[in-house]
Structure 1
Amino acid sequence: MTVRLTLLCAAAPVERDVRFDDVPLDERALRQARAAAAALPSAATLYAAPSQRCTQTARALGWDAATAEPELRDIDMGSWQGRALSEVAACDGAGLAAWMSDPQAAPHGGESVAEMCRRVAAWLDALSADAGRILAVVEQAVARAAVVHVLDAPQRSFWNVDVPPLSAVHLTGRNGRWNLRMGDVSSGAPVDGDD
Structure 2
Amino acid sequence: MIYLELLWTFIQIGAFSFGGGYAVLPMIEKYVVQQQQWITLSELADITSISQMTPGPIAINAATFVGIKVAGIWGGLIATIGCVLPSFILLIILAYYFFKNSNLSFIQNILKGLRPAIVSLIALAAISLTMIALWTNPQGDLLSVKNLNTSGIVSATISLLLLIKFKMDTIGVIAIGAIIGIIIHII
Bigger proportion of residues as strand: 1
Bigger proportion of residues as helix: 2
- In our comparison, the structure showing a higher alpha carbon Rg is 2
Larger RCO, structure (CA 8 Å, separation 6 or more): 1
Query: What TM-score do you get using the length of structure 2 for normalisation?
Result: 0.25
Query: What TM-score do you get using the length of structure 1 for normalisation?
Result: 0.24
